[in-house]
Amino acid sequence: MQVQYWFELFGTAFFAVSGALSATEKARADWFGATFIGYITAIGGGSLRDVLLGNYPIAWIKDVNMIYAVFAGIVMAKVFYSYFIKLKKTFFLFDTLGIALFTVVGTAKAISLGVGNINAAIMGMFTAVFGGVIRDMLTNEIPVIFQKEIYATACFAGALLYLTLHSYGVNFDYNLAISGSIIIIIRVLAVRYDWQLPQFKKHE
Amino acid sequence: MQVQYWFELFGTAFFAVSGALSATEKARADWFGATFIGYITAIGGGSLRDVLLGNYPIAWIKDVNMIYAVFAGIVMAKVFYSYFIKLKKTFFLFDTLGIALFTVVGTAKAISLGVGNINAAIMGMFTAVFGGVIRDMLTNEIPVIFQKEIYATACFAGALLYLTLHSYGVNFDYNLAISGSIIIIIRVLAVRYDWQLPQFKKHE
Amino acid sequence: MQVQYWFELFGTAFFAVSGALSATEKARADWFGATFIGYITAIGGGSLRDVLLGNYPIAWIKDVNMIYAVFAGIVMAKVFYSYFIKLKKTFFLFDTLGIALFTVVGTAKAISLGVGNINAAIMGMFTAVFGGVIRDMLTNEIPVIFQKEIYATACFAGALLYLTLHSYGVNFDYNLAISGSIIIIIRVLAVRYDWQLPQFKKHE
């Protein structure tokens, strides 16, 4: 689980970067606001999962390293600001790594708490995407996940794959590698080829 | 409680319809977004109640049928889309049945957990209206319940009536019928005759 | 703790005032909407803290006086509406007393539940500012704390001071007086001299 743990901290840091950038671009936040929104983006999804499951103490209260990871992300966002804004691809890479890992970790935690399969997949997806949803609500945007290329859908698909492999006894490390990779591949292809889910109802 | 349970599933399904329609009309959601917002509209109020009361496992994690009810609602929203949009009255009917039942069920659950009367009424109202509040926040609207005809107020009144009858020993089924009907009647009259609560402060 | 308790009720009432005014000015709320938003502004921060810490029953469910304090605030908001709108300074005073007290009380509660120092300071700040954040989200504003003069920052500084003095064994009453005063002083000076934190990134 060592590798998973480090990835989780990395994911946390990069979600913090994403929140800080968003707060700055959309709400002209000061240092504090950027930190606050970065922090909520990073820990929002996992907090929601733990609160919904009654899994106390919740992740970042149990492990102060997650707070340090957030602060590391804020510092990175400041230092590499121009790079992150220009090199959208760099940023995209880390965001994608983040959601891939958060999905698998969140799904695995839900399973270990005895949650059924569908709900576990929902929890995995929540872990990955809800930090961003809260970020968008705080900066008064319609959450991008409802409008953009395949995003939460990739997480949900990855979570279902994880659960399938898990039911066949595939061990955690391999499962993380496979299911996480699928999420990354779907995301990359979706952005590369501008995949879209069909609109729920066509607008003329 | 059999009847209550079926009504609860129906209420869940129709709130899911409401969320899916709203996501489509206001945020041009794709299939996934419509499902996601429909889902949150349906389970948001009950989740908030259970989390505030520390009542674990929360309703839809304990009972996977609630998830199926949500999916049934999404499918209905797609199939009957034009009907639902045109026949606002059909939709209004089910929404009203939904809040009436959710209010009574939510209040009863709070009472059974030992919550005091005022807070139980608040919990009943939260169960009924907060799914819609979160739906409106996600689609970046000012929640309608703060601006529209009597809505949450009808729920709160019904919850208080339920508590009064409960204190006189009226059994659950009768109480559900009476208190639920009052909510429906207030709602129907409010919309029919355009009842409004007075503005908190007049705007010239 | 008698004094603290009364202050907490006062803080609750004045946050309710703030919510009711905001709902009226920004969302043209009716009586119910003003009460609802006032209520959520007053109990939102403490509820979030208790839910994140798994500290059940949460504050306002345990103690119905907090509900009465909210209603007192709503009545005050109605009766003194014109005063509150005109005399922004009066309102500012009570808001500042509120955040000072809520920060210290929230931090102390977190510590007593065994939470580590950084997280306890975050919880204290959440208690003070998150009611306002939810209020702004409900009325569809970008939360002011991300854009305004030093606000949450003052709470965080006060929480850190509280923790420092606490670690030196300063008793609660003195600590409340000192840390609370620091928050008030920072807030007053920040508004008086228009202190701002630097933008995270300069916008030309």
Q: How many distinct structural domains can be found in chain C? A: 1
Out of A115, A116, A142, the one facing B140 most closely (by C-beta) is A142
The pLDDT of C1-16, averaged and rounded, is 79
Cβ–Cβ gap A36/C146 under 8 Å:
yes
Residue A132 lies in a domain: yes
Cβ–Cβ gap B30/A198 under 8 Å:
yes
DSSP-assigned states of every residue in A132-177: HHHHHHHTT---GGGTSSSSHHHHHHHHHHHHHHHHTT--HHHHHH
Q: What is the pLDDT of residue C204?
A: 47
List chains adjacent to chain C, taking adjacency as at least 3 C-beta pairs closer than 8 Å: A, B
CA dihedral B159, B163, B165, B168 (to 10 degrees): 180
Closest approach of chain A CAs to the CA of C134, in angstroms? 9
The pLDDT of A117-124, averaged and rounded, is 92
Return the residue of B nearest to A50 by Cα: B51
Q: What is the pLDDT of residue B169?
A: 92
Which of A 127-166 lie inside 8 A of B, CB atoms? Answer: 133, 137, 140-143, 145-147, 150, 152-153, 156
Return the residue of B nearest to A204 by Cα: B28
Q: Which residues of chain C does A139 touch, with a Cβ-Cβ cutoff of 8 Å?
A: 142, 146
Q: What is the pLDDT of residue B149?
A: 65
Cβ–Cβ gap C197/A30 under 8 Å:
yes
First vs last C-alpha separation in chain B: 50
The pLDDT of B105-121, averaged and rounded, is 91
Q: pLDDT higher for C35 or C145?
A: C35
> A105 CB near a chain B CB, below 8 Å?
no
Q: Using CA atoms, how far apart are residues A69 and A57, in angstroms rounded to an integer?
A: 18
Q: Using CA atoms, how far apart are residues C9 and B113, in angstroms rounded to an integer?
A: 25
The pLDDT of C71-78, averaged and rounded, is 90
pLDDT greater than 70 at residue C134: yes
pLDDT greater than 60 at residue A83: yes
C54, A54 contact by CB (below 8 A): yes
CA dihedral B125, B126, B129, B134 (to 10 degrees): 170
| Buried b or exposed e, range A27-43, using 16+ CB within 10 angstroms | bbbbbbbbbbbbbbbbb
Q: pLDDT higher for C123 or C26?
A: C123
Residue B198 lies in a domain: no
Please give the structure tokens belonging to residue B70.
């949500």
DSSP H helices, chain B, are 2-27, 31-53, 59-62, 65-79, 81-86, 88-112, 117-138, 152-167, 172-192
Q: What is the pLDDT of residue C165?
A: 96
Cβ–Cβ gap B30/A146 under 8 Å:
yes
pLDDT greater than 90 at residue B156: yes
The pLDDT of A106-129, averaged and rounded, is 92
pLDDT greater than 80 at residue C69: yes
Interface test with A, best of C56, C133, C146, C156 (most A CBs within 10 A): C146
First vs last C-alpha separation in chain C: 50
Residue C149 lies in a domain: yes
pLDDT digits (tens, 9 = 90+) for C18-53: 888 888 877 777 888 888 889 999 999 999 999 999
Angle between helices A2-27 and A172-192 (to 10 degrees): 30
Q: Which residues of chain C does B119 touch, with a Cβ-Cβ cutoff of 8 Å?
A: 60-61, 64, 67
Band of pLDDT at residue B172, cut at 50, 70 and 90: confident
Residue A83 lies in a domain: yes
Cβ–Cβ gap C152/A57 under 8 Å:
no
Cβ–Cβ gap C36/B116 under 8 Å:
no
pLDDT greater than 60 at residue A203: no
pLDDT greater than 50 at residue C64: yes
The length of chain C in residues reads 204
The pLDDT of B179-184, averaged and rounded, is 94
Q: Which residues of chain C does A81 touch, with a Cβ-Cβ cutoff of 8 Å?
A: 201
Residue A120 lies in a domain: yes
Please give the structure tokens belonging to residue C113.
């539940």
Q: Which residues of chain A does B54 touch, with a Cβ-Cβ cutoff of 8 Å?
A: 54
Single-letter residue type at C26: K
The pLDDT of C120-131, averaged and rounded, is 92
Helix (H, G, I), strand (E, B) or coil at C193: coil
Q: What is the pLDDT of residue B203?
A: 55
pLDDT greater than 80 at residue B141: no
pLDDT greater than 80 at residue C4: no
Q: What is the pLDDT of residue B136?
A: 82
Q: Using CA atoms, how far apart are residues A85 and C200, in angstroms rounded to an integer?
A: 14
Q: What is the pLDDT of residue C148?
A: 64
Single-letter residue type at C42: A
pLDDT digits (tens, 9 = 90+) for B40-97: 999 999 999 999 999 999 988 888 899 999 999 999 888 887 777 776 666 677 778 8
Q: Using CA atoms, how far apart are residues A188 and A195, in angstroms rounded to an integer?
A: 10
Which of A 22-61 lie inside 8 A of C, CB atoms? Answer: 23-24, 27-34, 36-37, 47, 51, 54, 56-58, 60-61
Interface test with C, best of B49, B123, B201 (most C CBs within 10 A): B201
Cβ–Cβ gap A199/B58 under 8 Å:
no
- What's the gap between Cα C10 and its chain centre? 11
Closest approach of chain A CAs to the CA of C127, in angstroms? 14
Residue B67 lies in a domain: yes
Range of the domain at A11: 2-192
A87, B89 contact by CB (below 8 A): no
Residue A16 lies in a domain: yes
The pLDDT of A2-11, averaged and rounded, is 78
- What's the gap between Cα C85 and its chain centre? 19
Cβ–Cβ gap C64/B140 under 8 Å:
no
| Buried b or exposed e, range C42-60, using 16+ CB within 10 angstroms | bbbbbbbbbbbbbbbbbbb
List chains adjacent to chain B, taking adjacency as at least 3 C-beta pairs closer than 8 Å: A, C
Return the residue of A nearest to B136 by Cα: A142
Band of pLDDT at residue A22, cut at 50, 70 and 90: confident
Any residues with CB less than 8 A from the CB of B51 and at least 6 apart, and which?
A: A51, A52, B58, C51
Distances from the Cα of B166 to the Cα of A34, B126, B160, B178, C67, angstroms: 50, 19, 10, 11, 22
Q: What is the pLDDT of residue C88?
A: 65
Q: What is the pLDDT of residue A134?
A: 85
The pLDDT of C142-167, averaged and rounded, is 85
The pLDDT of C185-195, averaged and rounded, is 87
The pLDDT of A6-11, averaged and rounded, is 82
Out of A27, A47, A67, the one facing C146 most closely (by C-beta) is A27
Q: Which of B97-106, B114-123, B126-135, C194-203 has the lowest mean pLDDT?
A: C194-203
The pLDDT of C133-157, averaged and rounded, is 79
What is the pLDDT of chain C when averaged over all its residues? 85
| Buried b or exposed e, range C144-182, using 16+ CB within 10 angstroms | bbbbebbbbbbbbbbbbbbbebbeeebeeeebbeebbeb
Q: Which of A183-187, B47-51, C11-15, C48-52 has the lowest mean pLDDT?
A: C11-15
Signed CA dihedral, A101, B30, B73, B122: sign only: positive
Q: Which residues of chain C does B197 touch, with a Cβ-Cβ cutoff of 8 Å?
A: 30-32
Residue C201 lies in a domain: no
Please give the structure tokens belonging to residue B8.
């609860």
A131, A19 contact by CB (below 8 A): yes
Percent of chain A, pLDDT > 90?
39
